[in-house]
Amino acid sequence: MSVKKRTHNPRLIRSRRTYTAQQIAILFNIHLGTVRLWIKQGMRLLNPNSRPYYIMGIDLIAFLKTKKTAKRKKLQEDEFYCVRCRCGRKSLPDRITVEVTNKRLGQSARQIIIRGICPDCGTRIIRFSSDKNTFWKPTLPQEGQVLIGNIPSPVNIDITKETKE
Ligand SMILES: [Zn+2]
């Protein structure tokens, strides 16, 4: 199965031309909503007070360039990648949950899943980390996570003592 990679070829854009959102959508074969999102995300408009919106080719190129760089940028410790905004976002603070999973990472660490909500678009956002990362504190009960058998119970210790004596 091949995954169709979405690229917006800047060579399709003429820098000195103006485009409507619709024309950009047709040009890149994308949804009009995507172009509207770009405007929301700060793509420069020729005149924000006029309808329909016009975008200069050169501003469209600049916006896509910034977007590409932002995507490559590593997320901050408290950021999540929002698939809808297509960039790093901090979650709504009261919507963050941190769950410790059973998945082991190396010798002693476990994978943790941090879930949140994008404050800009309301999409669920998620990131993975390790429980060694003290930045995130587990918020969900860790039932079944207790390492049964590793810690000798006091009863067993007593029995061993008795047999030795
Ligand atoms: Zn978002």
The 10s digit of each residue's pLDDT in 77-102 is 899 989 888 888 999 999 999 999 99
Q: How far is the CA of 86 from the centre of ligand 1 (A)?
A: 7
Sheet strands (E) in 9-164: 18-19, 55-56, 79-82, 87-90, 97-105, 109-117, 124-130
| Interatomic CA distance for residues 43 and 8, integer angstroms | 14
- Angle made by CA atoms 54, 123, 98, in degrees to the nearest 5: 145
Strand 124-130 relative to strand 18-19, pairing: unpaired
- pLDDT tens for each residue of 114-148: 999 999 999 999 998 999 888 988 876 555 444 43
Expressed in angstroms and rounded, the spacing between residue 114 Cα and the centre of ligand 1 is 16
Q: How far is the CA of 156 from the centre of ligand 1 (A)?
A: 53
Rounded to the nearest whole angstrom, what is the distance from the C-alpha of residue 125 to the centroid of ligand 1? 8
